[in-house]
Structure 1
Amino acid sequence: MKLKICAILIMAGGLLVAQDDQQNTTEWSAGRPDGHAPISVMGDHMHGKGEWMFSYRYMYMNMDELRAGSDDATTDQALADYMVTPTNMPMNMHMLGAMYAPSDKITLMVMLNYLSMEMDHITRMGGSFTTEASGFGDIRISGLYKFFNKNRQTMHGQLGFSIPTGSVTESDVTPASAPNETELPYPMQIGSGTFDTNLALTYLGQTDQISWGSQLRGIFRFGENERDYRYGNRYSLNNWFAVKASPWLSVSARLEGLIVGEIEGADPNLNPMMVITADTANSGGTFVNGGIGFNTYIPSGALKNLRFGLEMALPLVQDLNGIQLKTKETITAGLQYAF
């Protein structure tokens, strides 16, 4: 609370109770630049009855160099056990989303994405090659339910499912398969191939100048896809805070803990001795990621409620199962428009 207000309350103690009562009836508000989480966080907010929101996000993630457990590794280490190792993998993802609130308690959400990936490789014999894959990924649908919104704090839950529309049979030409295409390893596939359940719980709070939030999320995979495997479950805890620098700008910092399970089962078309990405022992791990970013918000005029967000994230801790490419920078940018 501002110093001026505090001084008035001290001089007029009778106003303290009245001020507290008014504060207790104040709801958390999304109508400010820090009213949404950093742009990389999904399902972070809800909408009022009858409100729509459309969004577009672009994410770039770069994976480069190798890591075994919590230590850096060399290509020579990988090629001692495998014929081929990747050296670099940039990924681009375009995400389209829509949200609609049939009531103040419930918001519905749907998301679809388009991915494009490249992976550079070197072989034990000293050769090099690149594989590529692109296409539409899985469609995700969710419902969000608001538990409360008072005292400038709110909490909601999310229940969602993914429809396996993304391909798990992406292929490309490699030196060993030329001139024919061969099926690509797990990281180069577009979808999961399974119906996955997405559960999340999000808490938000704010004062006049700052906001904060925490989101616990789990993605649970069941059954096996058409290639006889399923990706590991994912568990994440995101925490962030943002400072409202002006009526149209906020800056944010985020810290995420992430656990990714190993792939279960195996694709019979992949040889786990050929390349590290075809061996399911080299999948999953534990991560701590940090991000900084900003959100802009237009509070009035013809473009009222239009938002733009940008965040850059870096891994602080990576403890990987087996030997894998390590994550470098992740950049997320997005536009959101509500009406």
Structure 2
Amino acid sequence: MKKYILALAYTLMFSGLSFAQNEPVQNDNILWTSGRPDGHAPISVMGDHVHHKGEWMFSYRFMYMNMQHINSGTHEISAGTVLENYMVSPEEMSMKMHMLGAMYAPSSNLTLMAMANVVSNEMDLIPRMGEDFRTESSGFGDIKLSGLYSLFNRNRQSMHAQLGISLPTGSIDEKDVTPASAPNEMFLPYPMQIGSGTFDGEAGLTYLAQGNFLSFGSQLKGLIRFGENDNGYRFGNRYQLNNWIAGKLTNSLSISARVEGLIIEEIEGTQPGLNPMMVPAANTANSGGKYINSGLGVNMVIPSGSLSGLRFAMEYEFPLYQDLNGLQLKNNNNIIFGVQYALH
């Protein structure tokens, strides 16, 4: 069933691209515009558009991510199977993220972007012996700075490149008390850390096209980790391809469908304070994988009046395919809400 859903999603997207490119227009020099409700990508996609000289945009996003049950590769396995080799098995993990962003265009070709976030993690675990327990971590995450450079904008099509850096402002020393460590705290596994601890480079390329009622977007991104952090490891590189199609229902409302392909490499190095036989998340062999995710979203913009430029957006994301390295909690769903306000 998932293969059929994926095939349908891609068919719709490439049909949308063809329609957006071939839909008749009165003037071939009409520019692509971000002013329409479908002029912004689904709210989960970052760095999707550029601004005109002198424009500002401020944004707030809230993301909730939920992971449940254990996968070995593409197959779900029981906690009992995990406990044959580990002292503790994860049962569920959730992440809540509040993200603030700002964009400013000092010129018609260049848009600068900054993003900061606060993260809260919770993981429920099942021990081989004793009662179930929960660990928690929270704090400020890594700050991201980027430049978006417009390559062209004509015939209702545009393309821009992105180059940025992630600063290691998030903690990699998160600890909590567990039944095995009480009353002392112990280092939490890699997924429970707030930041990467490394300077990470990000590069991307985004293509956009608009018709009278449909729009299409495609974004290719890579996140490359440099060196290793102070705890002796680095998270895996990330390679991401997003494709989406959106339909303009009214001058203020649009809906969207998105398909994402994601590759995450394994963690390199080890944190000396973690016992890799305690829980799968503390073993770097259980990190990284290949994912195909889908999302359904809504974008709403206030086109005129005193609140012109104010946007509200929501997207529900769910997995179509997951091939995880080793033993990991599998993604269940993500929900993202956002508010954006542009000043002209």
TM range (shorter): over 0.9
Corresponding residue of 1:322 = 326
Please say which of residues 123-132 and 297-306 is displaced more in the overlay: 123-132
Corresponding residue of 1:190 = 194
- 2:255 partner amino acid: V
Matches within 5 A, 1:1-339: 23-339=27-343
- Could you say what secondary structure the match of 1:30 adopts? coil
- 2:172 partner amino acid: V
C-alpha distance in 2 between matches for 1:200 and 1:77: 40
Cα deviation for residue 22 of structure 1 reads: 5.4
Structure 2 residues not aligned, in runs of 5+: 1-22
C-alpha distance in 1 between matches for 2:195 and 2:319: 24
C-alpha distance in 1 between matches for 2:305 and 2:266: 50
C-alpha distance in 1 between matches for 2:130 and 2:264: 32
C-alpha distance in 1 between matches for 2:84 and 2:123: 20
C-alpha distance in 1 between matches for 2:316 and 2:257: 10
Structure 1 residues not aligned, in runs of 5+: 1-18
Q: Deviations over 1:277-304 (max 9, x none)?
A: 1000000000000000110000000100
- 1:178 partner amino acid: A
Q: Deviations over 1:16-52 (max 9, x none)?
A: xxx9895321100111100000000000001000000
C-alpha distance in 2 between matches for 1:326 and 1:130: 18
C-alpha distance in 1 between matches for 2:144 and 2:122: 24
Please say which of residues 156-165 and 117-126 is displaced more in the overlay: 117-126
Aligned length: 321
RMSD of the alignment, in Å? 1.1
Q: How high is the sequence identity, in percent, across the aligned residues?
A: 62
- 1:220 partner amino acid: I
Cα deviation for residue 152 of structure 1 reads: 0.1
- Could you say what secondary structure the match of 1:277 adopts? helix
C-alpha distance in 2 between matches for 1:107 and 1:30: 14
Q: Deviations over 1:252-271 (max 9, x none)?
A: 00000000000000001101
Cα deviation for residue 127 of structure 1 reads: 2.3
- Could you say what secondary structure the match of 1:34 adopts? helix
Runs of 4+ in 1 over 3 A off after TM superposition: 19-22
- Could you say what secondary structure the match of 2:203 adopts? strand
C-alpha distance in 2 between matches for 1:28 and 1:200: 19
Cα deviation for residue 85 of structure 1 reads: 1.0
- 1:274 partner amino acid: M
